[in-house]
């Protein structure tokens, strides 16, 4: 290789396995910089980068490090935008495709952790665990019957999305004695059944499920998908769960559905704004269990994500197609740019 590939990341938290893996490669250079304070500084630090490894947490990094048309124009050597996460909210995928830049994520790396968290939210809402904990710490004089819960066994869970995480939730749900429905327009009915669920339309799933749990990406087809009409279609007394992405469900409509008594509660790990403001109406609902996008934040998941992302970058910088390519249509153009940028005489 005539030019040494350069991977750049800023100093938002990344498991040490990422740096260790890349620094073990003699023909790859890793640069770690302090988070830049301006677009100009960002462009300067990334001007010679071939891979930009960026946090997937859009609310934890400044917008001037988002991968946009503007950033891409200032970084002519960039070959890949790599998201440190299953999501890729800070990356404009269409802009990258136009520029011939591959976009990769780490889908599946935190699937076990997110699936476990999903069941934890379901258990907490159904058995009123968080509600009981809060009341026990601040009150006396209430009865145990005031915190009567509901068993999950024998109920039905509807999974919107049956990918890496959804299929693991399906397996865990069956262990708890739940019936499993799934809506996933990307999978055939036979594939859905092979992943442990009964195929369903979204409308039927909403009407039949005691728990509705989101496991789909946020994109143009899913943004705002679970709106007031969707919540109204759900069974009275049902529970809504999301460990997917904020913006797929309408938070105001969810609050109204809970306040009216139509829904029994919700378990939410994701928000339009993260963290949500302290005065967010859903945080005042006793039957809402709220977490801070921590479903995939475990020691095991973070190390797994770091290892997967580093391995994928190494593969990509050796001209191999990465397994988690978000924009596959870019690949022929990527290979052309790869040869022109990295194989050119030094």
Which active-site residues does the annotation give? Answer: 245, 274, 293
Alpha helices in the chain (DSSP H): 16-23, 39-46, 69-74, 93-99, 111-126, 129-138, 164-175, 189-194, 202-208, 228-233, 251-259, 299-317, 331-342
Residue 77 exposure: Cα atoms within 13 Å on the Cβ side: 21
- Contact between 316 and 338 under an 8 Å Cβ cutoff? The reply is no
> How far apart are the C-alpha atoms of 7 and 164, rounded to whole Å?
27
How many residues are listed for the chain in this entry?
346
> How far apart are the C-alpha atoms of 234 and 159, rounded to whole Å?
13
- Contact between 319 and 338 under an 8 Å Cβ cutoff? The reply is yes
Bridge partner residues of 288 (DSSP):
266
> How far apart are the C-alpha atoms of 57 and 59, rounded to whole Å?
6
Bridge partner residues of 91 (DSSP):
67
Nearest to 310 by CA among 7, 101, 93, 65: 7
> How far apart are the C-alpha atoms of 69 and 74, rounded to whole Å?
9
> How far apart are the C-alpha atoms of 18 and 109, rounded to whole Å?
13
| Token digits of residue 221 | 């087809």
Nearest to 322 by CA among 1, 126, 105: 105
């Amino acid at each position: 290789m005539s030019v040494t590939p350069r991977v750049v990341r800023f100093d938002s938290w990344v498991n040490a396995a990422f740096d260790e893996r890349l620094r073990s490669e003699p023909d790859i250079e890793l640069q770690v910089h302090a988070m830049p304070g301006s677009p100009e500084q960002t462009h300067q630090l990334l001007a010679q980068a071939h891979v930009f490894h960026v946090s997937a947490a859009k609310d934890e990094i400044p917008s001037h490090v988002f991968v946009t048309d503007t950033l891409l124009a200032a970084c002519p050597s960039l070959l890949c935008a790599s998201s440190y996460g299953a999501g890729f909210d800070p990356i404009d995928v269409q802009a990258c495709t136009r520029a011939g830049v591959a976009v990769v994520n780490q889908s599946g790396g935190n699937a076990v952790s997110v699936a476990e968290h999903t069941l934890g939210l379901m258990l907490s809402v159904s058995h009123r665990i968080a509600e009981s904990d809060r009341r026990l710490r601040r009150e006396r004089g209430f009865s145990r019957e005031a915190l009567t819960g509901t068993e999950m066994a024998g109920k039905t869970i509807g999974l919107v999305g049956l990918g890496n995480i959804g299929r693991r939730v399906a397996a865990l749900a069956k262990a708890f004695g739940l019936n499993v429905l799934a809506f996933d327009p990307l999978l055939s009915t036979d594939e859905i059944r092979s992943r442990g669920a009964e195929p369903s339309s979204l409308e039927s799933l909403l009407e039949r499920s005691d728990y509705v749990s989101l496991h789909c990406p946020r994109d143009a087809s899913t943004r705002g998908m679970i709106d007031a009409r969707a919540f109204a279609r759900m069974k009275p007394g049902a529970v809504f769960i999301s460990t997917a992405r904020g913006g797929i469900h309408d938070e105001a409509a969810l609050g109204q559905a809970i306040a009216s008594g139509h829904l029994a509660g919700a378990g939410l790990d994701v928000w339009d704004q993260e963290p949500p403001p302290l005065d967010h109406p859903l945080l005042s609902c006793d039957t809402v269990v709220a977490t801070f996008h921590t479903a995939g934040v475990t020691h095991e998941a973070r190390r797994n994500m770091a290892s997967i992302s580093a391995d994928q970058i190494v593969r990509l910088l050796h001209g191999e197609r990465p397994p988690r390519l978000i924009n596959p249509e870019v690949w022929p153009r990527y290979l052309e740019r790869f040869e022109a940028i990295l194989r050119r005489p030094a």
